[in-house]
Structure 1
Amino acid sequence: MDGSVSATDVSWDRGDSQVWRVTTDTREAYVKRSPTAASHSREVHGYTHATQTLASGEAPTLLASDPGLRALLTSPLRGRVVRDFPLETQEERRVHHLADQLLRRWHDSTNQPPAQVRAIVRQSMLEQAREARTYLDDLAAHVAPAEHRLLQRVTNELPGLADELPVVFRHGDYSPRNWLWSSDRSQLSLIDFEEAAHGAAIEDLVWLYGAIWPTRPDLAHAFLTGYGRALSRAEQRALHLITARTTAYYLNAGIIKANPVLTERGRTALKHLLG
């Protein structure tokens, strides 16, 4: 970059986030330092996938990367983060509809994964079931009997669903904090690929299913009609069970850390799952 350079810290409010907006007199870019070598490698592959599958302006361009520094230099995008962007109801529904169309293109472009990827999905479902089993004891005194039975079903049923779940190259953190919305162009863009990897397609819906859709069924409808296909019975069941495991994680972490935000998030989501 030419001219005087300034950098502004635009990291997320978490300990391992390191992102800066770098500007000169005429240009702007973003520098990100990945928390681990593995996340840096995943993000580089994620940018390659985005270039192959998304339209111009729907994802940043990777300008340079340095695995030794775990650093990436990327182009800017127009738009604001949807999570922090107050939208009118109709526009919000429009955004969620476009978000699912974008995700379907991201998923559909995945080449047939090798056999070992299916083994990875089996192992992931098994590990999540084992994690749920630990919560059966850890949360026994903190959850209602029906919630405890739900965690038992995660333990018993989730591994058996693994072979019925479509395997894709996942975004890995598909939520409004990683969507950019440009109102004037009606364009939705996608950022942050450090969790991108092969896995079950349904895992890209867990955050939406657990955190947004319980109180906003209109957004669930807008999103799922954009995806263009109905979820199979196995996918619906796995989505419910994986979300239960995830919400139990939040509840358990909130209790251990005496964090009321995490605790309430977990309690609320578990109640919605039983509703």
Structure 2
Amino acid sequence: MRYRYVGPAGLRDQPPPPVTGPDPDEASTYVIDLDGRLRLAPRRSEHVALAGGRDVLAAGEITIVDGRVTEVSNQSTGYCPDPDCWPAVARALDRLGLAHPGGFTTAIVFRRCPDCGERNIVRDGDFICALCDAELPQRWNFDPLAPLSDRQRELLDAWFPGAEVVHDHSWGVAATTVLELAYDNRHLIVKAGGETDHHIARELHAHRNWLRPWTTRNRAPRLLHGDDQAKLLATTYLPGSLALDHEAEPSFYRQAGELLALLHAQTATVDADFERRENEKNLLLLNGPHRIDAATVRRLRDLITGWPTPPVTLVPTHGDWQPRNWLIHDDTVSIIDFGRAAMRPAWTDFNRLTVQDFSTRPDLEEAFLLGYGPDPRAADGSYRSHVREAIGTACWAFAHGQEAFEAQGLRMLAGLR
């Protein structure tokens, strides 16, 4: 990730300081430039002046004694780099043959307050603004474009020259940046995938192949631009707020059922190998890191290895069908977030609603089925899908530090018959 200067504007115009060698008696100011080179200056030098006003890969203070780094930090209130910039520092030091401690000896967590704009240093894990007491985001937030690759930025500039970022909607867990832009008197949504992202490709496929029944009704965003290789897409902006922020009304669930039926009805194919692949995937999850107790793991392995693997009918599915991906505007439901869209059995889109919503509100289930039609959960594979959903939720949430989701997955497993 690259970091742009976020400090006082007047400091950007200072003349560059003399570039020096390391001072063994005190720390030096350093930056890692975009070519990955270490640049040093006397400690009281401004980082932005040392960088010539340009973006950097890292910045902070460093002490080098006899060819060894004894102290190094990301202390730069001009760039406010995240501790995640350490790999860029390590590469620069390795290139010079300088021994180093393998990480920052002092790692500083910077956050910008979304309410008052104050730059904060987070201490003792207390994500509260020191000036106005507002809650600070868990994700580094000084430059919403920072996570984008050079190629993604080039495409964004070509698609929407001069566009302004007005809001960062990124969740902060998946390797996907979600930004709301203002451009040409309208708002747009841009999604950019990181190196490990595999959701953008699914989302692009869904936009190009499956969303027309919704976009023609203005019930889903329309794709404006997309680049599979760069993992970047741009769509229209839909007004509204998440259904999670509204009272759970049966009318919303009826509409959600109607929309899901439109998605599922577009095409279908029979897959003779789907069940086997899903079984293998879940056995691998159980072999990986999680907090499912040993007795439950043994029971699940016995259960999965004994399941039949019949052919199943696959349809286009959303993959995360629940109120957090429904927008409400003027009492109308629209759909967002297609990063998990894929061909699956229809009943898989019922899994999360069954556990989270229908278990305590049968009226919502009745309304949903009124909109959707015949219940696909009557099929034999629905129970197997429910078990897989529980395993996947518990394992994924543990891996990403999402304790609430992990607890939900563990409750689902505890409730299996």
Identify the TM-score tier after normalising by the shorter chain. 0.7 to 0.9
Return the alpha-carbon distance in structure 1 between the equivalents of residues 327 and 370 of structure 2: 20
The structure with the greater share of residues assigned to strand is 2
Return the alpha-carbon distance in structure 1 between the equivalents of residues 201 and 314 of structure 2: 20
Return the alpha-carbon distance in structure 2 between the equivalents of residues 258 and 71 of structure 1: 26
Comparing 147-156 with 218-227, greater Cα deviation is found at: 147-156
Question: Measured at CA, do residues 273 and 27 of structure 1 come closer, stay the same or move farther in structure 2, by a change above 3 Å?
Answer: same
Residue of structure 1 in register with 2:178 after alignment: 19
Correspondence 1:176 to 2:323? yes
1:170 deviates by: 1.4
Q: What SS is found at the alignment partner of 2:358?
A: coil
Structure 2: tracts of 5 or more residues without a match: 1-159
The structure 1 residue matched to 2:391, chosen from 238, 245, 248, is 248
Instruction: Show the 5 A alignment for 1:1-275.
Output: 1=160, 5-24=164-183, 26-35=185-194, 38-54=198-214, 55-83=216-244, 85-87=245-247, 89=248, 92-110=249-267, 112-113=268-269, 118-128=271-281, 130-131=283-284, 134=287, 139-141=292-294, 143=296, 149=299, 152-157=302-307, 159-160=308-309, 162-163=310-311, 165-182=312-329, 184=330, 186-231=331-376, 233=378, 235=379, 237-251=380-394, 260-274=403-417
Corresponding letter in the other structure for 1:64:
H
1:224 deviates by: 2.2
Count of residue correspondences? 255
Structure 1: tracts of 5 or more residues without a match: none
Corresponding letter in the other structure for 1:9:
D
Return the alpha-carbon distance in structure 1 between the equivalents of residues 340 and 398 of structure 2: 26
The structure with the greater share of residues assigned to helix is 1
Return the alpha-carbon distance in structure 2 between the equivalents of residues 180 and 203 of structure 1: 21
Q: Contact 1:153 / 1:241 at 8 angstroms: preserved in 2?
A: no
Q: Contact 1:180 / 1:189 at 8 angstroms: preserved in 2?
A: yes
Residue of structure 1 in register with 2:90 after alignment: none
Cα shift readout 1:19-76 (whole Å, capped 9, x = no counterpart): 1000146111011013457533321121123443223211101001122321111001
Q: What SS is found at the alignment partner of 2:376?
A: coil
Return the alpha-carbon distance in structure 2 between the equivalents of residues 169 and 12 of structure 1: 25
Cα shift readout 1:168-202 (whole Å, capped 9, x = no counterpart): 011122221111111x2x32111111222212222
Q: Contact 1:251 / 1:262 at 8 angstroms: preserved in 2?
A: yes
Question: Measured at CA, do residues 44 and 120 of structure 1 come closer, stay the same or move farther in structure 2, by a change above 3 Å?
Answer: farther
Question: Measured at CA, do residues 71 and 86 of structure 1 come closer, stay the same or move farther in structure 2, by a change above 3 Å?
Answer: same
Q: Contact 2:282 / 2:392 at 8 angstroms: preserved in 1?
A: no
Return the alpha-carbon distance in structure 1 between the equivalents of residues 313 and 251 of structure 2: 26
1:250 deviates by: 3.9
Corresponding letter in the other structure for 1:53:
P
RMSD between superposed Cα atoms in Å: 3.2
Question: Measured at CA, do residues 47 and 154 of structure 1 come closer, stay the same or move farther in structure 2, by a change above 3 Å?
Answer: same
Q: Contact 1:64 / 1:74 at 8 angstroms: preserved in 2?
A: yes
Return the alpha-carbon distance in structure 1 between the equivalents of residues 187 and 264 of structure 2: 30
Give TM-score, length-normalised by structure 1.
0.77
Comparing 26-35 with 5-14, greater Cα deviation is found at: 5-14
Cα shift readout 1:90-147 (whole Å, capped 9, x = no counterpart): xx2111111111111100012x43x6xx145234333255347659x9845465xxx9
Instruction: State the identity as a percent.
Output: 27
Corresponding letter in the other structure for 1:156:
G
Q: What SS is found at the alignment partner of 1:194?
A: coil
